[in-house]
Amino acid sequence: MSDKPNYRMERIERLLHELKYEVTRGMMEGEIDETIGFRFFVPISKRLPDGVVSCRFETRPVQRWAMHVEDLQPRLKVVSDNTA
């Protein structure tokens, strides 16, 4: 069961890299708009009782000087459920 989180994380990272490629290519070729968004909720939170997890993807134009190094790659971490 310890391989399952790693598999899920690897799959998410691969999909995010594919998304980055498609968004970059689509914008550079003028096929998609510079402002797109996608939002959804995971209906349960392990950190907040009676909470949900908000997930969002958003693109918007910014000045080059406003870019941060932290924004250049996905920041994901594997969390474990130690209740078992």
Q: List the pLDDT tens digit at each of the 84 positions of the chain.
A: 456 768 988 999 999 999 999 999 999 999 999 999 999 999 999 999 999 999 999 998 988 887 776 666 656 666 655 554
pLDDT at 44: 94
Q: Please check whether residue 11 lies inside any domain of the structure.
A: yes
Give the residue numbers spanning the domain of 30: 3-69
Domain count within the chain: 1
Phi-psi category of residue 30: left, alpha or beta, with phi > 0 → left and psi -120 to 50 → alpha = left
Instruction: Give me 79's structure tokens.
Output: 């969390």
Tell me, rounded to whole angstroms, the distance of Cα 5 from its chain centroid.
16
* Concatenated DSSP letters of 10-45: HHHHHHHHHHHHHHHHHHHTTSS-S--EEEEEES--
Instruction: Identify the pLDDT of residue 64.
Output: 82
Asked if residue 37 belongs to a domain, the reply is yes
Residue 64 lies in a domain: yes
